Amino acid sequence: MSVEFSNAYQEILLENVYAIIKQNFIFQTQLKLAEESGKAKEQLQAKYDELAKMYEMAKGQVIEAAKFKVELEGTAPLHEEKSRLQSALNDSMKKYTALQKDLEAKDTEIASLKDYIEKLENIATPSKLKKLNPEKFAEEKPLEQPTSDLFAIKVNDGSSF
């Protein structure tokens, strides 16, 4: 082998080693970038899965909310009916209390009039009372005492000898 061949061989060998090392570095860099992008892809996939689960839960909550909305719309007439009944009850209670107060006032007036009538009856003579209200005094006839004591002598009445 000649020196030229050996130099060329070593030159080519050195170029090939450089090319192989260069390719190795490029390949390792690509591997590292692929690993990082794989990790990023895995993280994105995990986030996507999490968001998909949250989306499904939100869909379920939207369906439940729609059911509640339908129920609430169904109870709106009941609320209106309750309000109507409550206002009617309040009105009737106001009327009841007003009538109760009026009744109490009338009762006190009747009681005062009865007291006044009693006082007038005590003042007036029985003969005038019989003329004004004969029915009341017709029932109150005095009981007659038995006649068995007709001939009995009464002491200190002034009629004896």
Task: Provide the whole-model pTM.
Answer: 0.39
The answer as to whether 47 is a domain residue is: yes
pLDDT digits (tens, 9 = 90+) for 139-157: 555 555 555 555 555 556 6
Our separate counts of H helices and E strands in the chain read 3, 0
Number of domains, the chain: 1
The answer as to whether 118 is a domain residue is: no
Q: Residue 149 and residue 43: Cα distance in Å, rounded?
A: 132
Enclosing domain of residue 41: 3-93
Residue 24 has a pLDDT of 95
The answer as to whether 147 is a domain residue is: no
Cβ pair 130, 137 in contact under 8 A: yes
pLDDT digits (tens, 9 = 90+) for 66-125: 998 888 888 888 888 999 999 999 999 999 999 999 999 999 999 999 999 888 888 877
